A and B are shown apart, each in its own frame.
Chain A
Amino acid sequence: MEVIVAEDISKKYIIDHQKKARKNFTLRDTFSEKFKHFFGKGEEDEVEHEEFWALRDVNFSVNQGDRVGIIGHNGAGKSTLLKILSKITEPTNGRVTIKGRVASLLEVGTGFHPELTGRENIFLNGAILGMKRHEIKAAFDSIVDFAGVDKFLDTPVKRYSSGMYVRLGFAISAHLSPEILIIDEVLAVGDADFQKKCLGKMRDVSESGRTILFVSHNLAAVQSLCNRAFYFEHGRLKLQGDTTHVVNNYLSHVAKTTLEHTWETPEEGPGTDEVRFRSIRVKPAYASGKLYIDVTTPIKVHIEFWNMAERADLNLSLHLYAFTGECIFNVGTTSQSFDKGLVSATLDIPGNFLNDGSYVISVMVVKDTSTVLYQLAEAVSFEVEDHREGVTWYGKWPGYVRPQFNFQISQSEVLV
């Protein structure tokens, strides 16, 4: 059954540019402008206001029980969509039909008043989120328990730590019982423990057959939680469908990667009189259906160069850098004697080795294991996306590498 149907919704904002920016800013400006217009001295032609479509002709429908992940760049229209669905702002055109009670979590602890106690804020926030008083009363103990703030119930929330504040805010919203839940990037706040609780709760909600719309930049969480995804770009709904398919498409568009460089002739290739590079290529062995590199993807790096000298003892050295500049590793080939001509090399980086992040590769040709003939700095770059299985935690996995070493666990003794 369709619970949300959006037909051609658009939202227009007027952006005032420099000239206009000052105008209408104070009452005096408005009056003086009106006055000028009255006497025909208006500057209408010089006023620049640009229309900006935060959303443009968006159509979709959501079925009951769907968990929809909404992804896209900042400014793609995701938040505007949530605001329209939450009735905070009206669409300029189009209509949305929603069946069922909606709760929107655009912020944790909306309307908390710093001077009020935890207890008072539970009732305040609950009422703001649309809970009835008896519902809040019924859930009260459970909320306090979930947030773990029972000792501080009668303390003004301005004295709470930011962690307590967020926990209390989330605990209240977790006890809402809407048919449709709209969530904006809640995972961006709080510590790992909180995120885990948060996602666990969302899973509970979805398993009870309710509908969730979830905006997030955390693609691993979207992939794990959602069965459908919407990909927004420049205010338009670019793609919708199965989560893996949409995330694939999104990542293949956003990854700022240069997976290969090739130079046709030795004259074009970078290098010296002795060696010139012909190509460097990163070849991921994608799992079936995937179009992007994630932490499980094995990668091959192919390198080719021309040896211009008659005979030389050469070896290749490859540096892999994290985006932040730290060198993750440096590997070298053995040194060998080569004739004039093309030399090629291949490096295997296994899957389940690199952590998620952006990486840059530099290669250098070394002569007689001591002299650097040429270094090709920042030759290629690629991004490794996150991938999780069998976990309920989606925080940033620490470390530069994420190897799967043999790590055994067993019960060695049973206490009776």
Chain B
Amino acid sequence: MAHSEEVIIEAGHGAKNYWRDLWKNRELLLILSRRDLSVRYKQTVVGAGWAVIRPFATMLVMVFVFDKVAKFKGDEGIPYPLMVLAGITIWNFFSTTFTQISHSILLNSNLVTKTYFPRLIMPLSSVVVGFVDFIISIVLYVLIAIWYKHFPSWQLLLFPAFVLLTLAASLAFGLFFAVMNVRFRDIAQLIPFIVQIGFYACPIAYSSSMVESNQGAWWYDLYYLNPMVSIIDGFKWCLLGDGAFFKVSSLYSTIGFTVAVLGISIYYFRKEENSFVDYI
């Protein structure tokens, strides 16, 4: 009988062939993604329609509150609803993937205790749900943009880069929370709270240009410390064109920050993943 492989099991040995194992298990990654996707809207009447209804309804409410009632100033020449929808689209992408990643280990606890595969497969496969919702939301955006006859310009070419950056950010924070979540169930309470606060702390229903007029205020730098601010501004700029406010300089620190956090999170995840089964 041909012995395809020799495996050595000892403390701390798992690291050696980790990335190769991850690649070998790519079929599992796909099938887990498909599972999450097909389970997502099971036994619902509207189904994937929820991915349209949610951003659309949120947009209507935000436009009513911030544009009609509070009379916030949008960016010159850009329809307010369109700006809000662009913000909601990218924010939902971030918050959904971030939430899914954070819960991915706990949701798959039956697999953690009964089988072995590189644990990174679980957070990675959980990303797909948010991504599909994002695509649907983008289609909605395109329809409404046509309605307003507002078309993107050359910045659209940067679209994939911003999607990747958002994904990197959600992995960076999500992986960290996923590990913490195994030991501390507090995280499950904390996450919806973070998402809720983030919605108002980020330029989703308003434009960063309104913040710009407050240069020198003590919270001005604090505002830009949030990496999602420049990602969202950039994404809006990429869809809406030059008229949209975007402080390009803020993006550099965000990229550096995101990459650094991502590195730390992966390291932390790798360090802890072998003990998941003992704590879950």
Chain A residues within 8 Å of B, Cβ to Cβ: 3, 13, 24, 26-28, 30, 64, 83-102, 104, 106-107, 110-111, 113, 115-116, 120, 123-124, 127-130, 132-133, 156, 179, 209-210
Contacts and interface: CB of A to CB of B under 8 A. Distances in A.
B177 to A, nearest CB: 12
Contact of B115 (A13, A24, A28, A104): A104
Given A86-B116, A116-B38, A127-B32, 7 more contacts: A13-B278, A26-B185, A28-B186, A91-B10, A110-B114, A133-B27, A209-B1
Given A89-B274, A95-B8, A110-B110, A179 B35 contact: no
- Among B5, B27, B38, B277, chain A packs the most CB atoms within 10 A around the CB of B27
B14 A132 contact: no
- Among B4, B10, B186, chain A packs the most CB atoms within 10 A around the CB of B10
Given A88-B115, A106-B114, A95 B6 contact: no
Nearest to A93: B11
Contact of B274 (A90, A106, A115, A209): A90
Interface residues of B, number: 40
B31 A110 contact: no
26 contacts: A26-B186, A27-B180, A30-B184, A88-B277, A90-B10, A90-B13, A91-B10, A91-B11, A93-B11, A94-B10, A97-B6, A98-B6, A98-B8, A100-B3, A100-B5, A111-B111, A115-B42, A115-B43, A116-B38, A127-B27, A127-B31, A127-B32, A128-B28, A156-B42, A179-B1, A209-B1
B59 to A, nearest CB: 30
B183 interface: yes
- Among B5, B35, B180, B183, chain A packs the most CB atoms within 10 A around the CB of B35
Contacts of B4: 100-101, 179
Given A88-B116, A115-B43, A132 B27 contact: yes
Contacts of B153: none
Contact of A110 (B3, B10, B111): B111
B9 A84 contact: yes
B12 interface: yes
B184 A113 contact: no
Contacts of A113: 35, 39
A102 B11 CA distance: 19
B184 A116 contact: no
Contacts of B11: 90-93
B183 A24 contact: yes
B23 to A, nearest CB: 14
B270 to A, nearest CB: 13
A209 B3 CA distance: 13
- Among A92, A127, A130, chain B packs the most CB atoms within 10 A around the CB of A127
Interface in B199-251: none
A193 to B, nearest CB: 25
A104 B114 CA distance: 8
Nearest to B111: A111
Nearest to B108: A111
Contacts of B113: 88
A336 B274 CA distance: 75
Given A24-B183, A90-B10, A95-B8, A110 B115 contact: yes
A235 to B, nearest CB: 16
A26 to B, nearest CB: 5
A101 to B, nearest CB: 6
A87 B277 CA distance: 11
B7 interface: yes
B1 A64 contact: yes
A120 B38 contact: yes
B115 A97 contact: no
B184 A89 contact: no
Contacts of A101: 4-5
A106 B8 CA distance: 20
Interface in B37-90: 38-39, 42-43
A3 B5 CA distance: 11
A383 B39 CA distance: 51
Given A110-B111, A110-B114, A97 B186 contact: no
Given A27-B184, A86-B116, A93-B11, A99 B6 contact: yes
A75 to B, nearest CB: 16
A88 B10 contact: no
Interface string B22-35: 00000110011001
- Among A3, A84, A100, A106, chain B packs the most CB atoms within 10 A around the CB of A100
Nearest to B24: A130
A96 B31 contact: no
A179 B184 CA distance: 39
A86 B7 CA distance: 11
A100 B6 CA distance: 6
A101 B3 CA distance: 7
Contacts of A91: 9-11
